[in-house]
């Protein structure tokens, strides 16, 4: 009974992990019940006879979890059966014309040449990835037909019935796979890539708290749970085979949803490869969190601010990319966070040049500088990933995300009262904004009120939900001169009417 309970628990776990597996099991049962009607109904059995078993075998070996895998296997089997059947009949016909003495020798030569060439071609990487199953069926079908001892008219009838039953079984699998709760390999690959971005973003955003805070002071169970949650990135390290399989299956799939027939799946693999490289660096970085040799907290604090910003901004960039992928829209918000992380790198470089670590022991300095080096590599990887995703969005024709400009009218009290869209272009000057102070000190005391009354602010809607770090530039202000500001506000007011 304990074994039975264990099997039941395992079944519940597998079904709960992905409920589509339960649906797939019912789909396979439906397809088998459908093709089994060749045996259950007498008229169909009289037409196909024992060859109806090929339809059942086709369903068993062809029906896969995703639509792409099913289509790939079905087309491979159908084409291989058709081509091998034709060649096998031709080889049998040529051998039979040479007489009973030469016939077995010719058949042996034909089988040898076909099997040797087909087996060698199976080693080609591109062929093995997409057509390996088809070549296997080609070898089997050619050998069965060419060496059979039937007469030529019987072979033609045999090949016709086998090809018909194989086609019926394959079509049944494809139709049920597409129209009954379809599982698209392309959608799975797209979701997997977005999920991997979320996983790395989570680690980078939590790295600062985990490294600089004294985690041993809390509940050990909570600490262990948090660390396990932080180490979810390890699933990315070994995801290459899964991603390549999904991309291969996706190439067989027809257009569905926002995925076109010739969707750039190879670019998905390029982005995934860059993500794995970043994950390996994160794995090395994580080893310093759990290392037995820990640097004192007071030494870590010397570089805390730039290190926190580097990891946090890199994590925010990946989070923005994940959102962009899920919505399949082009977004430049991640570029802002990449620039912020690079700015933090420059601040860190300046801090190190100031000699802040001169009084640190050599071993502690080596450990700390290794972490600095890894974070710099992660920042550089984030930039490459962002560029690769932009290329993917361009090739895949993601939708452009609209970014409306907003004009905020600022009252004398300093509160923003209302917002309206800006239709005209405003020349902006990048700078830190402090709405509580004067906007432009160069305007003079006599015209200070006019400068404070109207401030044109251009806000990027992609970063409006993020809380900016100290020193980050997320707001663009324009106030060139007092007279120009007043004139610009009048023009904007006229345009908005």
pLDDT > 50? residue 469: no
CA distance 443 to 31: 80
Say what the pTM is. Answer: 0.75
What is the pLDDT at residue 85? Answer: 85
pLDDT > 60? residue 399: yes
pLDDT > 80? residue 422: no
Average pLDDT (107-133) is 92
What is the pLDDT at residue 470? Answer: 42
Q: For 84-93, how does the pLDDT look when each residue is reduced to its tens digit (9 = 90+)?
A: 888 888 888 8
What is the pLDDT at residue 331? Answer: 81
CA distance 448 to 67: 68
Average pLDDT (298-302) is 85
Average pLDDT (135-152) is 80
Could you tell me if 314 and 328 are in contact, meaning their C-beta atoms sit under 8 angstroms apart? no
Q: How far is CA 95 from the centre of its chain?
A: 53
Of 365, 312, 323, 298, residue with least CA distance to 471: 312
Q: Which two tokens stand for residue 343?
A: 């700015």
Q: Which residue's entry shows tokens 């933090």?
A: 344
pLDDT > 80? residue 168: yes
pLDDT > 60? residue 212: yes
Average pLDDT (234-248) is 92
Of 466, 213, 471, residue with least CA distance to 344: 471
Domain boundaries, the chain: 2-179, 185-400, 406-496
pLDDT > 90? residue 477: no
Could you tell me if 422 and 492 are in contact, meaning their C-beta atoms sit under 8 angstroms apart? yes
Average pLDDT (458-468) is 41
What is the pLDDT at residue 150? Answer: 57
What is the pLDDT at residue 107? Answer: 86
CA distance 317 to 296: 30
CA distance 28 to 177: 9
Question: Residue 429 pairs with which residues in a beta bridge?
Answer: 477
What is the pLDDT at residue 143? Answer: 86
Q: Which of 146-155, 162-171, 180-189, 256-265 has the highest mean pLDDT?
A: 180-189
CA distance 96 to 151: 9
Superfamily of segment(s) 185-400: Phosphate transport system protein phou homolog 2; domain 2 (1.20.58.220)
pLDDT > 90? residue 378: yes
What is the pLDDT at residue 291? Answer: 77
Q: What percent of the chain has pLDDT over 90?
A: 40
pLDDT > 60? residue 407: no
Confidence of residue 199 (pLDDT cuts 50, 70, 90): very high
Q: Which residue's entry shows tokens 């030494």?
A: 299
């Amino acid at each position: 009974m304990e074994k039975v309970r264990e099997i039941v628990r395992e079944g519940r776990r597998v079904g709960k992990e992905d409920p589509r597996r339960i649906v797939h099991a019912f789909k396979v049962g439906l397809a088998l019940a459908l093709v089994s009607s060749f045996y259950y109904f007498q008229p169909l059995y009289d037409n196909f006879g024992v060859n109806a078993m090929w339809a059942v075998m086709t369903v068993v070996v062809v029906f896969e979890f995703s639509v792409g895998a099913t289509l790939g296997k079905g087309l491979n089997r159908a084409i291989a059966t058709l081509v091998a059947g034709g060649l096998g009949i031709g080889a049998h016909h040529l051998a039979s014309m040479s007489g009973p003495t030469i016939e077995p020798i010719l058949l042996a030569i034909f089988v040898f040449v076909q099997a040797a060439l087909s087996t060698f071609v199976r080693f080609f990487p591109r062929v093995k990835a997409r057509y390996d199953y088809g070549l296997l069926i080609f070898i089997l079908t050619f050998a069965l037909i060419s060496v059979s001892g039937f007469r030529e008219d019987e072979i033609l009838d045999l090949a016709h019935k086998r090809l018909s039953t194989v086609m019926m079984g394959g079509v049944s699998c494809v139709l049920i796979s597409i129209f009954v709760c379809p599982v698209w390999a392309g959608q799975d690959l797209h979701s997997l890539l977005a999920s991997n971005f979320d996983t790395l973003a989570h680690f980078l955003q939590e790295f600062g708290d985990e490294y600089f805070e004294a985690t041993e002071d809390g509940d050990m169970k909570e600490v262990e749970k948090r660390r396990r949650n932080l180490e979810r990135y390890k699933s990315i390290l070994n995801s290459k085979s899964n991603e390549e399989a999904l991309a291969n299956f996706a190439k067989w799939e027809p257009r569905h949803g926002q995925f076109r027939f010739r969707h750039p799946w190879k670019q998905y693999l390029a982005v995934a490869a860059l993500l794995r490289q970043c994950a390996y660096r994160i794995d090395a970085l994580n080893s310093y969190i759990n290392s037995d040799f820990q640097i004192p907290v007071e030494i870590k604090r010397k570089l805390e601010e730039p290190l926190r910003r580097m990891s946090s901004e890199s994590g925010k960039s990946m989070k923005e990319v994940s959102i962009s992928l899920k919505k399949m829209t082009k977004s430049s918000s991640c570029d802002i966070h990449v620039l912020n992380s690079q700015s933090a790198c420059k601040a860190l470089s300046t801090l190190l040049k100031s000699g802040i670590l001169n009084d640190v022991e050599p071993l502690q300095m080596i450990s700390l500088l290794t972490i600095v080096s890894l974070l710099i590599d992660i920042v550089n990887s984030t930039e490459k990933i962002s560029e690769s995703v932009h290329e993917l969005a361009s090739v895949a024709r993601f939708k452009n995300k609209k970014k409306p400009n907003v004009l905020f009218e600022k009252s004398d009290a300093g509160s923003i009262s209302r917002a309206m869209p800006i239709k005209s272009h405003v020349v902006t000057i990048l700078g830190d904004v402090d709405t509580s102070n004067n906007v432009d000190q160069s305007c003079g005391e006599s015209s200070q009120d006019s400068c404070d009354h109207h401030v044109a602010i251009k806000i990027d809607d992609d970063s409006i939900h993020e809380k900016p770090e100290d020193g980050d530039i997320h707001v663009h202000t324009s106030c060139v001169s007092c007279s120009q500001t007043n004139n610009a506000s009048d023009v904007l007011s006229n345009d908005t009417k």
